[in-house]
Structure 1
Amino acid sequence: MSWYGIEAINRAISRTRKALFEPFDFWKWAKLAIIILLGGAGSGYGSSTNYSTETQDLGNNFPIIELPETLLTPMILIVVLFLILVLILSYISSVMEFVFVESLVRNEVKFWAYSRRFLGKGFNLLLVRLAIGLIFLVLLGIAFLPIILESPSDFALPELLGEIFWLVGLFILLALLAIVIESFISLAIPVSIYRDKGILSAFRMIYGNFRKSWKEVIVYWLTRFVLTIGTSIIVIIFSVLMTLVLGLGFLIFDVALYFLFSQLVSESLTWILLIPFIVIELFLILVILIFLSVPFVVFMKYHLLSFLEAWFAEAEIPFFDVPVVEPETGFNKPEPEF
């Protein structure tokens, strides 16, 4: 018996090769690297902290620290600004997930056009993830409630160990549940695009198909786990080697600059002149590492899309390497211009 998750590996390799190397396009790689970098920010779920200047009786073992009123307003402002920044980055990341899928399916990267097209879908995806995050926070709050309400003096060692095991088990369970939900969301994104559905409707379609052929999805998850470990090891090895090579080259260059500047200016000014060069070199190393990671990230996304193509044919993904056929005549139909 063949499994879609395993069969998708060869198809993903072929599509990665065609998209990135046949032919090689530097600017295409650069735009994909930007999309990956923006989408890699992920979706953060911030939680606000309530501060109070009033003293509350929480027991003798917990001294109360009162914040000066002069510090309270700036701290609240910093927290609010941080939450706004997290929301903005999360929204950009959500939009980039749709842009990345469309770019790979079409094999044509149109950053601004795709971004404008998926502003609405990205916003809906952000709302869904925020709602899921809120539910998880409520579940964690309920789990911590007995510990918060119970006095510290009432904890005996067996009870404390029991609470620790309960919380660890709950964290593991919620983490696994979050991984499963996120996997369904990732599969729902292409369905939302090409079936013109909302993200929740696409999610329900994916879940409905999961109930029919859950074994395929289990094998797909196991395959993804192995591929993630394998690609991560390769990326780490490449990154370490490239960092060593570039770092050695830049070090030799910096030493030469140091001796040159030291002949012209004082010691302190020499280091000041070197700082911009070091910052630029670190930035170049980061850019090169992101650039070299593009094939691996693209391969993993193509594996997801290729699995979805085989497992859920109703997704109707218009891949660039699959000819469009007229249903009446059977003749190939030219792909639409975008």
Structure 2
Amino acid sequence: MNILLTSVGRRTYLVDYFKDALIESQGKVFAANSTFTYAMTHADSYIITPEIYSNNYIDFLLQYCKENNINVIISLFDIDLPILAKNKQKFLDIGVNIIVSSPNVIDICNDKWKTYLFLVERNIPTPKTFLSLPAVHEAIDNNTLELPLIIKPRWGMGSIGIYKAETIDELNIFYKKVKNEIQSTYLKYESALDIDKSVLIQQYISGNEYGLEIINDLDGNYITTFCKQKVAMRSGETDQALTINNPALHKLGELLSRELGHVCILDTDCLEENGKFYILEMNARFGGQYPFSHLAGAHIPKQIIEWISNGQTKNEYVTIKENVLCCKDIKPTIIENN
């Protein structure tokens, strides 16, 4: 089995995890990205692709899959997901399986406004969220909302354009600043769907932050939930985390699984305030917290291969140990030495 990881970015560890998963079958890991990154060099082979929104991106990938006998594609980047989800059948027609949720699920996760509506409609706790500045001012005047508030992109990822407003003046300034940042980064592509409503204002929740990885099989059936308390963050990604066993979070994970019906892994962020858990975001892909689950005993890359090959779930691949404290490290590396 040969696996292509698209939009691999800096996730060297995921390339290594998939290479480890393919040792027994002597398969290969291929990496793709629109710009060169060091993570690509860890793959058995890599390729620089057109940009995701390029008209020939899909045709390029199709041809690359044919030439390299690729069996499976897994994307590691939010922006890549809707493009691949919409074109999944084209890859199936040439015998390539894309591990991606349906276009509707991807839309709900990538569009943070739709995430909010999805959660509210199902009475799943989430911070109050607004799509317009006047509506926020009105809520503050009516005493149904109070500062501080979080301002962030509607179609956002990582730490790009996220600010905490302590005053009305900061609220107005950060709102404009976030819109400008959206238009000057890759967030402009998805935000172009509704640029005038591309900024969200969200209730600030003060409390411990948790990460859930909700695991479904490739048919969208619930398997388990990995729970972690986030100890430290860096650039919008989990930097240190402690694996935990929390029945309330496991129950919440199962509820989200059944309501959403995603495929494989759902990376979810939540906050606890006064004993209540609030869902912040959902990402239908491997996220920055997966290494902590892996270090605690899980092996989702091996489980994906098992699902594809035999349709079975192996408990050893979807189980983590409790009370494992993990962190990420920075390791300087030579790329070239001519």
Give the number of the structure with larger relative contact order, counting CA–CA contacts within 8 Å between residues 6 or more apart. Answer: 1
TM bucket by the smaller chain?
A: under 0.3
Bigger Rg, which one: 1
Richer in helix (by share): 1
Q: TM-score, normalised by structure 1?
A: 0.24
Richer in strand (by share): 2
